[in-house]
Structure 1
Amino acid sequence: KNSAFIILVGAGFNTFSSYISSQDIVQRFTTTTDIKQLKKMTYGNGVLSIFLATVFYLIGTALFVFYNQNPALAQTAQQDQIFASYIAYQLPVGITGILLAAIYAASQSTLSTGLNSVATSWTLDIQSKISSKELSFEKQTKIAQYISLGVGIVSIAVSMVLANGEIKSAYEWFNSFMGLVLGVLAGIFVLGAFTKKATSLGAYVAFAVSAALVVFLKYNVPSVTSWAYAIISISTSVVVGYITSSIELAVTGKKVNTLDAATVFCDTETDESLRGELEGV
């Protein structure tokens, strides 16, 4: 069984990974060009996230106690359907409708944000590079619409597979996916932000090694919990990337032109300069 420590730390690293590599979250923090306001947003979001996570886990604990005291009621719902089953069958009719409406509204908001993020990333970061000529705004909009449609169809197909497959918990599967994919990207971010020796070669090698390691663990070492994937991928990326970068620099004699403003080594003067540049954008 997973220990509470591994779950808490693993979930923390998963959240950390999404906050620095997931477009739908990052774009929310780019809505301001004021560094002070950005810091307030970050701290405020952190406090609210911890509060909401605590509330959700308390709800889960309460449901666990309720269905342990009423085991016959748990026979009619699968693991991922316990909360929905409780809302539908155990709450008064009026409260049930309000909660279901709130859940559907929140789901719609999350889905629309995700679709917009994927469409934006593809149009601005990928399509613009593979296209031989500059795309007009109308063309970009049309491409984004097609991408949204395609991703929506794939998402429906994946949800159907998850609903009818042998996956016991979609939440744990999602966290496994987060640790597998976003954890590798987070490791590259940490390598670049917390060291001054990161090179492109080091980043590529770190990406390949950490991704291969986590995939190997997932399919060959089932005893390693999925909650540890993000911890493993980030740690591996940093260690492998730093060693590879150091060796490359020692062999080639090159020097890394590190942008301090993009690292944790940014001092107060640099921070003020960066703030002025951002405010002028």
Structure 2
Amino acid sequence: MKNLPLFDLAVIAIYLLGMILVGFYFSRKNKSSDHFTKASGTIPGWAIGMSIYATFLSSNTFLGVPGKAFGDNWNAFVFSLSMPLAAWVASKYFVPFYRNTGEISAYTNLEKRFGAWARTYAVVCFLLTQLARMGSIFFGIALSLQALTGYSMSMIMIVMGICIIIYTVLGGIEAVIWTEVVQGVIKTLGAVLILYLIVADMPGGVSSIMEIGKANDKFSLGTLDFNFIESSFWVVLLYGFFINLNNFGMDQNYVQRYHTAPNSKEASKSLWLCVFLYVPASLLFFIIGSALFAYYSVNPEFTEVLRQQVAVERLPIGSSAAQISQMAATLQPADYGDKVMPHFMVTKIPAGLVGLIVSAILSAAMSTISSGMNASATVFSVDIYKRYFKQDINEKQTMFVLHTSTVVFGLLGMAAGIAMIGVKSILDVWWQLSGIFAAGMLGLFLLGLISKQSKNHEAIIATIIGILVIIWMTFSPLLPVEYDYLRNTLHYNMIIVVGTLTIFLVGVLLTRLRRRSSI
């Protein structure tokens, strides 16, 4: 077990206690559902922008991005390059739309447009996406802290989850936003500190990192060929545009923040601030990953330690030293990329600074998880409980539902994280799951927003066809060899692209056929 120095443990404990105290502080004003979910529309645009930035900058970024850059290259950075276009669409069309409707839920309008089924379908997709997001973030933080403390990942998730649940239940969205403002700063400074420590301990410094990175093609953004079978530049660009369009246009985490601003202008400003902060910040994490690759290349003894650790985890308990060594020899950088950052922290960060770095990683996890819990509770109370169980409930009952559902979704997020223990890449599993769950609701939303003439039955048929396409693209690669001709050959990041376009285009086509036949 790795024992952290007392000072580092004190820093981490103070940070966790501080988050809980923040929840208590904001609980004084958090007496109504309007304040719990919208902060009564009193949050300035710059704070909302910092909050959205902090939500994007989760532990998936803090740990998964360096791991991806270490094991592969900068291809995933293309995701960030897609953000400005998605933000432009959202600020021009989505923000005014939601502000004009006045609905706190992103999905209420779908019922008005197509019926209750559309609203419920989108809510289910959103909640599944949130569980995948929270689970991947719980897993990421546990992976890091396990390397530092030696405690089991499950125990780490439970302790972290309890702290997050307490301050989210007490403080509501206002506590979430203002703590995310602070956490956004802490995360960024933590990343800068890590990069400095890598470069300072690297023989040859920056020039050596550049030389090793170029020799191993670590700075590539992916092939520019129009290749949709592998993770090319265009695959990640399309994936990034569609998933960010879903984030800014359909994800309750972001839509809910639009309502916390005093007006549409401030809400739109928050989106652009997030983009201007996140794009360079994500580049920073890719640089860290490439720097770690160079560092471990000149320190092969550290690489061997990581390979041995992964081999032990993958082999059955009781495997011989020879079997472990044989497995370790076959492992590639992509197999242990997510473990590099925690290992560097354990071995190279001086005592006294580890607590600060861990606090930065904790803030990366806590901001996104607390945001997801609050958004999930809001959606459940508005779109499920009030819609199907009890519409006429008073303020006290509404607050009880919000608090209870916050706790439940926090616990489910922890369970999802525990279920992910052992996955190869945090970033890969999150991208795949989010693409699957988000594709359906984004296609339906765009159909309702753009195709004004589409009716309920056309939307139903389009959605069913879209779901079948998504299921086929997701599971057909698992078919036996004799059914090879039925497999989807496109890269899994294309699921959200094809699924979204299928629902939207089929709906538009059916609408045009109906209108033509009625002439």
* TM-score category of the 2 structures, normalised to the smaller one: 0.7 to 0.9
User: Partners of 1:70 and 1:252 in 2: how far apart?
Assistant: 73
User: Partners of 2:392 and 2:500 in 1: how far apart?
Assistant: 37
Q: Return the offset for 1:196.
A: 3.5
Q: What SS does the corresponding residue of 1:124 show, helix, strand or coil?
A: helix
Aligned to 1:168: 424
Q: Is 2:383 the partner of 1:157?
A: no
User: Partners of 1:89 and 1:5 in 2: how far apart?
Assistant: 38
Aligned to 2:189: none
User: Partners of 2:467 and 2:347 in 1: how far apart?
Assistant: 43
Change (3 A) 1:115 1:244: same
Q: Return the offset for 1:137.
A: 1.6
Q: Which of 61, 81, 87 is equivalent to 2:290?
A: 61
Q: Which of 66-75 and 175-184 deviates more?
A: 66-75
Q: What SS does the corresponding residue of 1:198 show, helix, strand or coil?
A: coil
Structure 2 matches for 1:108-147, cutoff 5 A?
Answer: 108-147=366-405
Q: Is 2:434 the partner of 1:205?
A: no
Q: What SS does the corresponding residue of 2:260 show, helix, strand or coil?
A: coil
**Paired residues, number:** 251
Aligned to 1:183: 439
Q: Return the offset for 1:128.
A: 0.7
Could you list the per-position Cα deviations for residues 124-178 of structure 1 after superposition, in whole angstroms to 9, with x for gaps in the alignment?
A: 12111112451112212222222222222222221111113xx311211111111
Q: Structure 2: give runs of 5+ residues left out of the alignment.
A: 1-229, 310-335, 478-487
**Contact 1:201–1:244 at 8 Å: present in 2 too?**
no
**Contact 1:188–1:238 at 8 Å: present in 2 too?**
yes
Q: Return the offset for 1:94.
A: 2.7
**Contact 1:11–1:175 at 8 Å: present in 2 too?**
no
**Contact 1:172–1:226 at 8 Å: present in 2 too?**
no
Q: Is 2:385 the partner of 1:99?
A: no
**Contact 1:191–1:241 at 8 Å: present in 2 too?**
yes
Q: Return the offset for 1:223.
A: 4.0
User: Partners of 1:4 and 1:70 in 2: how far apart?
Assistant: 31
Could you list the per-position Cα deviations for residues 192-235 of structure 1 after superposition, in whole angstroms to 9, with x for gaps in the alignment?
A: 33333333333322322222212211111364322212211222
Question: 1:191 is matched by which residue type in structure 2?
Answer: L
Q: Is 2:256 the partner of 1:27?
A: yes
Q: Which of 244, 261, 266 is equivalent to 1:15?
A: 244
Higher relative contact order (CA 8 A, sep 6+): 2
User: Partners of 1:147 and 1:223 in 2: how far apart?
Assistant: 40
Q: Which of 301, 304, 313 is equivalent to 1:72?
A: 301
User: Partners of 1:178 and 1:251 in 2: how far apart?
Assistant: 38
Aligned to 2:494: 228
Aligned to 2:505: 239
Change (3 A) 1:16 1:86: farther
Alignment RMSD: 2.3
Q: Return the offset for 1:252.
A: 5.4
Change (3 A) 1:137 1:239: same
Deviant stretches of 4+, over 4 Å: none
Q: Return the offset for 1:33.
A: 4.6
Change (3 A) 1:65 1:187: farther
Change (3 A) 1:147 1:38: closer
Q: Structure 1: give runs of 5+ residues left out of the alignment.
A: 254-281
